[in-house]
Amino acid sequence: GAKAEVLIPYSAHYPVTFNDIALTEKMLPTLQYSAGKENVKLKSPVTGAEDFSFFQEKVQGLFFFLGGMPKDQDPLKAPSHHTPDFYLDESGFTLGVKALCNLTLDYMGMKKK
């Protein structure tokens, strides 16, 4: 019989994750250059909780999704995230690195002006 008491801090507060409008407008051409204009789609905001929102409390932020579903996968039948059957096609990582590198360089250049 050992006993233990565990205290788990709980906070319902998660800031809203949002894209700064001015930053998005400045960085959109970079994403279009990186992925091809036809592959970049501006979507309505998604209000899921993201740790990224805590960074956005301190600095402007740009949050984007990078596709990772296999090309032959039917989106309606694909297992959702956070399930045992979820599969990520890692071939999209190259595009993600390219986009992040280009965004970083363009952002740094923008800050020098």
Domain count, the chain: 1
Range of the domain at 25: 21-112
Identify whether 4 is part of a domain: no
- Quick one: pLDDT at residue 113? 67
Identify whether 79 is part of a domain: yes
Per-residue pLDDT tens digits for 4-60? 999 988 777 888 888 999 999 999 999 999 999 999 999 888 777 788 999 999 999
Identify whether 101 is part of a domain: yes
- Cα-trace Rg, the chain: 19
The CATH number that applies at residue 74 is: 1.10.150
Identify whether 96 is part of a domain: yes
Taking the model in full, what pTM does it have? 0.78
